[in-house]
């Protein structure tokens, strides 16, 4: 099961109110919020309207009722939304959260006052109340996310965007805290750069599940070429990109069987992403590349990283959860003429089709094919990545410090020509020299994950506020 595609975001809802403010404001705010969540297709849990006075949370009794509901549904709730249609009761809010036992992202919203309705019956004072609520969250060490404006209307486009932003933050935090990642094979001996600490990842809720590459190859060799799964995969491959006429059908079949086995193993182990020993064992001992299998998984929202770069695969998964778009996995690879803010990022490649943004060719690995024989190397995704916005992100485990560290930024893919084989992305990134210096000085890998959208702010919020990873943000605002 692909958890990314199957899971809708679910919120726990706290509507705040304070006794000497008009309770009708809380009733109306509740109604507007639930209508908006239904419109945007979010799931949610909130105490029934008749279970508390005015359908809101104020007293300790109210808070216990709300907390009990949240606790019973703790596996379903991805984040908590606090709305303040009036000043709100700070203790009601903080008690509901702490008593629930949930450790999920929290969004705090406060409603605008209408300057023509600030009499004793219509004033909200949520502008002030929000400060008090946030003060208590700080005291209780509860991290939270602010709305883009201090106060806003629940029905506003601003708040709709805030909900989308917050939902993606929740998706990252929930996805990472229970992530399961497959390590298919061992890293190539020459790639010490991709070593990582499995224990540090586990301390952050990320489980690594290894399998020997021989087991995958053995299962692929035993597959009946006429099986339904293999025939279906062959059809998918033929419709996925352009395969040159000189590619032997037997090599396409090998790739299909390998994909079926990897898909089955991923499903058996309930994995979200993978990193694969993509050379040279599989080429010598089985007779094809792994790139196409990895690309197909990526397109199906299960990212797969090269050279058993496990932390690279985690980086890809974060980008997927933030953007909703299948990410690519690239090398920081070449300068672009003498343009200091441009470079060329490449891989052989395993890019998902939609990451390319253009028609793809599926053929043989070039450099490795020249070395060990092209007949062993079918399955590379080739083409020039289409121009458009781009976010890049990379994490690494720092064994000396016992932490996860990362860097983040945005740029763009360009349509500048570059005559080289494989998957090619010409990138424009402001302050590129500073970024490359940071990568070198702080022991980061040469691999980088990229997604086709701007989502750096979402990642920064999730990583720094809730996951507490060390992050260097190169985003230019």
Q: pLDDT tens-digit profile of 407-430?
A: 999 999 999 999 999 999 999 999
* Residue 29 tokens, joined: 């705010």
What's the pLDDT score for residue 189?
Answer: 87
- Domains of the chain, by residue range, sit at 3-177, 180-473
What's the pLDDT score for residue 22?
Answer: 86
Q: Are 3-177 and 180-473 the same fold in CATH? A: no
Instruction: Please name the CATH architecture into which domain 3-177 falls.
Output: 3-Layer(aba) Sandwich (3.40)
Does position 437 have pLDDT exceeding 70, yes or no? yes
| Section 332-350 average pLDDT | 97
What's the pLDDT score for residue 282?
Answer: 96
Q: Match 């028609």 to its residue by tokens.
A: 359
Q: Where are the beta strands (DSSP E) in 185-228?
A: 207-211
| Section 435-455 average pLDDT | 98
Q: Give the whole-angstrom CA distance, residue 286 versus residue 144.
A: 50
Reference 82, options 103, 116, 57, 99; nearest CA is 57
What's the pLDDT score for residue 121?
Answer: 77
Does position 1 have pLDDT exceeding 60, yes or no? no
Q: Give the whole-angstrom CA distance, residue 173 versus residue 80.
A: 13
What's the pLDDT score for residue 20?
Answer: 76
Q: Give the whole-angstrom CA distance, residue 165 versus residue 363.
A: 39
Q: pLDDT tens-digit profile of 75-124?
A: 999 999 999 999 999 999 999 999 999 999 999 999 999 988 888 778 88
User: What pairing do the DSSP bridges indicate for beta strands 342-347 and 361-364?
Assistant: unpaired
| pTM for the structure as a whole | 0.96
Reference 212, options 242, 185, 252, 181; nearest CA is 185
* Residue 410 tokens, joined: 């945005």
Buried b (16+ CB within 10 A) or exposed e, 158-179: ebeebbebbbbbbbbbbbbeeb
User: CB within 8 A of 161, min separation 6: which ones?
Assistant: 148
| Section 129-136 average pLDDT | 98
SS (HEC) of 282-336: HHHHCCCCCHHHHHHHHHCCCCEEHHHCHHHHHHHHHHHHHHCCCCEEEEEEEEC
Q: Match 């726990």 to its residue by tokens.
A: 12
- Provide the CB-side half-sphere exposure for 448 (13 A, CA): 23
* Residue 261 tokens, joined: 């086995």
Helices (H) and strands (E) in the chain, counts: 17, 18
- Per-residue confidence at 2, pLDDT binned at 50, 70, 90? low
Q: pLDDT tens-digit profile of 47-84?
A: 999 999 889 999 999 999 999 999 999 999 999 999 99
What's the pLDDT score for residue 68?
Answer: 98
DSSP 8-state symbol, 256: H
**Secondary structure (DSSP) of 54-86:** GGSB-SHHHHHHHHHHHHHTTTT--EEEEEESS
Q: Which CATH superfamily is domain 180-473 in?
A: L-fucose Isomerase; Chain A, domain 2 (3.40.275.10)
User: CB within 8 A of 339, min separation 6: which ones?
Assistant: none
H or E stretch including 404? Answer: strand 403-413
Q: pLDDT tens-digit profile of 176-235?
A: 999 999 999 999 888 899 999 999 999 999 999 999 999 999 999 999 999 999 999 999
Beta bridge partners of 106: 80
């Amino acid at each position: 099961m692909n958890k990314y595609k199957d899971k809708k975001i679910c919120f726990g809802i706290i509507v705040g109110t304070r006794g000497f403010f008009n309770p009708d404001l809380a009733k109306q705010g509740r109604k507007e919020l639930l209508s908006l969540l239904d419109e945007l297709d979010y799931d949610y849990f909130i105490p029934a309207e008749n279970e508390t006075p005015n359908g809101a949370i104020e007293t300790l009794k109210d808070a216990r009722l709300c907390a009990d509901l949240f606790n019973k549904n703790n596996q379903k709730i991805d984040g908590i939304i606090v709305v303040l249609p009036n000043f709100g009761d700070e203790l009601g809010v903080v008690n509901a959260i702490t008593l629930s036992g949930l450790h999920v992202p929290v969004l705090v919203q406060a409603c605008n006052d209408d300057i023509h309705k600030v009499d004793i019956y219509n004033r909200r004072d949520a502008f002030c109340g929000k400060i008090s609520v946030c003060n208590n969250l700080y005291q209780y060490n509860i991290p939270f996310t602010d709305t883009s404006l201090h106060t806003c209307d629940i029905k506003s486009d601003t708040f709709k965007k805030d909900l989308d932003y917050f939902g993606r933050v929740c998706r990252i935090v929930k996805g990472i805290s229970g992530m399961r990642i497959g390590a298919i094979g061992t890293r190539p001996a020459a790639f010490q750069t991709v070593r990582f600490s499995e224990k540090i990842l586990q301390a952050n809720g990320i489980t690594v599940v290894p399998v020997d590459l021989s087991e995958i190859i053995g299962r692929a060799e035993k597959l009946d070429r006429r099986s339904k799964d293999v025939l279906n995969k062959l059809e998918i491959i033929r419709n996925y990109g352009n395969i040159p006429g000189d590619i032997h059908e037997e090599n396409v079949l090998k790739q299909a069987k390998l994909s079926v086995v990897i898909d089955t193993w991923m499903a058996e182990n309930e994995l979200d992403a993978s990193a694969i020993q993509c050379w040279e064992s599989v080429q010598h001992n089985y007779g094809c590349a792994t790139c196409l299998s990895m690309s197909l998984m990526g397109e199906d929202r299960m990212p797969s990283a090269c050279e058993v770069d496990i932390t690279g695969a985690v980086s890809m998964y974060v980008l997927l959860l933030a953007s909703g778009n299948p990410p690519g996995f690239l090398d920081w690879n070449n300068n672009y003429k003498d343009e200091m803010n441009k470079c060329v990022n490449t891989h052989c490649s395993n890019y998902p089709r939609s990451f390319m943004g253009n028609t793809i060719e599926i053929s043989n690995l070039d450099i490795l094919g020249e070395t060990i024989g092209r007949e062993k190397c079918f399955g590379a995704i080739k083409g020039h990545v289409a121009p458009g916005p781009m976010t890049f992100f990379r994490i690494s485990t720092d064994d000396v410090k016992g932490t996860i560290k990362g860097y983040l930024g945005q740029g763009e893919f360009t349509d500048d020509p570059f005559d080289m084989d494989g998957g090619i992305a010409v990138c424009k990134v402001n302050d590129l020299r500073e970024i490359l210096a940071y990568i070198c000085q702080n022991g980061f890998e040469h691999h980088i994950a990229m997604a086709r959208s701007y989502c750096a702010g979402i990642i920064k919020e999730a990583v720094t506020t809730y996951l507490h990873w060390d992050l260097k943000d190169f985003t230019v605002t």
